[in-house]
């Protein structure tokens, strides 16, 4: 028989595994890079929104993920800026 603390650990592990499984299914079903990005973002956002035993470490992880997303966004915009404008299309 499990003690109270052991049972809680097993329940939390099960919850984590279920969340991960739902993410994997959603990620695999995604039909585009943007849908996969949304699935990954939602998974990380859900994990970040919960309490953590080490708030400082959780904060560092969120900061790192945020920085990586901003860097990726900057790089994607740089790639788009290199694309020539289509002829016949109104320029803004």
| Predicted confidence (pLDDT) at residue 18 exceeds the cutoff of 60 | yes
What whole-number distance in Å separates Cα of residue 41 and Cα of residue 68?
A: 12
Q: Is residue 87 scored above 90 in pLDDT?
A: no
Angle separating helix axes 33-48 and 4-29, nearest 10 degrees? 160
9-30: average pLDDT: 86
CA-based nearest residue to 19, from 60, 38, 41, 47: 47
Q: What is the mean pLDDT of residues 81-86?
A: 85
pLDDT in tens, 44-75: 999 999 989 999 999 999 999 999 999 999 99
* 79, pLDDT greater than 90: yes
């Amino acid at each position: 028989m499990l003690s109270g603390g052991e049972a809680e650990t097993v329940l939390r592990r099960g919850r984590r595994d279920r969340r991960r499984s739902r993410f994997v299914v959603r990620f695999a079903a995604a039909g585009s890079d943007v849908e996969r990005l949304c699935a990954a973002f939602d998974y990380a956002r859900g994990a970040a929104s919960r309490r953590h035993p080490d708030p400082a470490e959780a904060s560092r992880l969120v900061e790192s993920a945020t920085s990586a997303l901003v860097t990726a966004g900057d790089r994607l915009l740089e790639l788009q800026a290199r694309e020539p404008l289509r002829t016949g299309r109104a320029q803004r």
